Chain A
Amino acid sequence: MRPRLATLWLDGCSGCHMSLLDLDERLLEIIRDFELVYSPLLDVKEYPNAVDIALVEGAVSTEADRRRIQIVRERTRILVSFGDCAVTGNVPALRNRIGIDAVLAVYETPPTREVPMLLPVFPVHQVVAVDHWLPGCPPSPDAIFEVLRALLEQRAPAPSGVRFGS
């Protein structure tokens, strides 16, 4: 049976998912070897049960992010922090130094119900347990491919040339 793969987009720019798409023809291998069960690239509303691998892009920066990542952790065997925002907080975390009130000060009436409540920004591993980290803004397609191959072959991922930033 093919491993069940999910990809998630929390507070990030979607650049990591763009880099995933940059796998180009190797996407055919990914689709052959994995069953993609949840992703911004699919029209699936609810995070499914018994997911083998989840790539999580983005930092945890709202109450909704926090609820989502907790559900993802409960239902996923191997969770990968995918890209700098998930690994470090990165650009979303720039607001931590000025606080949420300063961010909301741009609104005449700060939104309360329509959008999820903002939180201080956390890297994913400071909210739930993370199994692997793949830094990069974004991680290169080669690095993403190596991580997915390694997890498929049940060995420790060893992507080369990985660095924070771009």
Chain B
Amino acid sequence: MSVYTLEIDGREVGARPGETILAVAREHQIEIPTLCSLEGLSTVGACRLCLTEVEGASRLLPACTTAVAEGMRVRTQSERIARYRRGILELLFAERNHQCAVCVSNGHCDLQALATSLGMDHVRVPYRDPLLSVDASHERFALDHNRCVLCTRCVRVCDEIEGAHTWDVAGRGIGSWIVSDLADPWGESSSCTGCGKCVQVCPTGALFEKGKAIGEMTKRTAFVPMLQHMRGRRR
């Protein structure tokens, strides 16, 4: 098996062909912020927070979908990258209604944590304040579209791990939203198994368990790569 040698933030690292910049960076404890990416799920490159500079490329490339190459030189931190990441985060906060103070995921939210780690202390664009619904028709769980960032982790875990494909994205652009079955109420879904995997992988308070207090609404995602691993071995 051949091995590529490349440079990330001035460090020389080895990588296997087919690996992504993000995977190699993580193997070498180089932190790259992510939101839509989750170990064990397919990658979609939706959130763009993992943008990196690759020498020779004029635009920034997402670390999660960019495969490594021999002699590649990658920078994961720069003034330009920080500016883009912060801008992306501000747009995410402005797009829907993210009031951390009254959210069940306060303190356990990837979006909230990213604002802190990327130093985003205010949003420069106007808030859109869209009027969005909450689907609380499911017996145990609820979906609050106000807090959804359209990362599609729920769609992917339901399709790729649970095999139910209850969730999908309807609409286009700014009008996109997560739907269960054919945009039916979640509680009436004939495909949903009620497993709750979507709730566990949701990075914000968009998907949550009913009756849980803020302190209890911690999410666990470690099962995703474990299940993938076990199934891979069985095949």
B88 to chain A, nearest CB (A): 16
Please pick, from B127, B130, B132, the residue contacting A89 in the complex, using a CB distance under 8 A.
Answer: B127
For window 107-166 of chain A, which residues contact chain B by CB distance below 8 Å? Answer: 123, 125-126, 130, 133-135, 137, 161-166
Question: Is A93's CB within 8 Å of the partner chain B?
Answer: yes
Please pick, from B93, B101, B121, B123, the residue contacting A162 in the complex, using a CB distance under 8 A.
Answer: B121
Question: Is A94's CB within 8 Å of the partner chain B?
Answer: yes
Chain B neighbourhood of A97, CB < 8 A: 97, 129-132
**Do residues B129 and A96 form an inter-chain contact, with CB atoms below 8 A?**
yes
Contact flags (1/0) for A71-88 with B, using CB distance below 8 Å? 000000000010010011
B121 nearest in chain A by CB position: A133
Interface size class of B (residues with CB under 8 A): 20 to 34
Give the interface centre of A96, A97, A98, A135 by most chain B CB atoms within 10 Å: A97
Contact flags (1/0) for B122-143 with A, using CB distance below 8 Å? 1110110111100000000000
B124 nearest in chain A by CB position: A125
Chain B neighbourhood of A91, CB < 8 A: 99, 101-102
Total count of chain A residues near the partner, CB < 8 A: 26
Provided the pairs A123-B122, A133-B121, A135-B122 are in contact, do residues A164 and B129 lie with their beta carbons within 8 angstroms?
no
**Do residues B101 and A164 form an inter-chain contact, with CB atoms below 8 A?**
yes
Question: Is A7's CB within 8 Å of the partner chain B?
Answer: no
**Do residues B122 and A165 form an inter-chain contact, with CB atoms below 8 A?**
no
Provided the pairs A126-B126, A133-B122, A162-B121 are in contact, do residues A94 and B131 lie with their beta carbons within 8 angstroms?
no
B119 nearest in chain A by CB position: A162
A89 nearest in chain B by CB position: B127
CA distance in complex: A88, B127 (Å): 9
CA distance in complex: A101, B199 (Å): 35
CA distance in complex: A147, B127 (Å): 26
Chain A neighbourhood of B131, CB < 8 A: 97-98
B48 to chain A, nearest CB (A): 21
Chain A neighbourhood of B2, CB < 8 A: none
Chain A neighbourhood of B176, CB < 8 A: none
CA distance in complex: A32, B113 (Å): 36
CA distance in complex: A61, B227 (Å): 50
Please pick, from A94, A125, A137, A166, the residue contacting B122 in the complex, using a CB distance under 8 A.
Answer: A125
Question: Is B163's CB within 8 Å of the partner chain A?
Answer: no
**Do residues A165 and B127 form an inter-chain contact, with CB atoms below 8 A?**
no
Chain A neighbourhood of B101, CB < 8 A: 84, 90-91, 137, 164-166
**Do residues B97 and A88 form an inter-chain contact, with CB atoms below 8 A?**
no
For window 75-134 of chain B, which residues contact chain A by CB distance below 8 Å? Answer: 93, 97-103, 106-107, 109, 112-113, 115-116, 121-124, 126-127, 129-132
Chain A neighbourhood of B112, CB < 8 A: 163-165
Chain A neighbourhood of B123, CB < 8 A: 88, 123
Chain A neighbourhood of B132, CB < 8 A: 97
A159 nearest in chain B by CB position: B121
Chain B neighbourhood of A163, CB < 8 A: 100, 112-113, 115-116
**Do residues B122 and A87 form an inter-chain contact, with CB atoms below 8 A?**
yes
**Do residues A165 and B121 form an inter-chain contact, with CB atoms below 8 A?**
no
Known: A137-B101, A166-B101. 12 other contacts (CB 8 A): A89-B127, A90-B99, A91-B102, A93-B127, A97-B129, A123-B123, A125-B122, A134-B121, A163-B112, A163-B116, A164-B112, A164-B116
> Could you name 9 residue pairs across A and B whose Cβ atoms are closer than 8 Å?
A88-B93, A94-B97, A94-B99, A97-B131, A98-B131, A123-B127, A135-B121, A161-B116, A164-B101
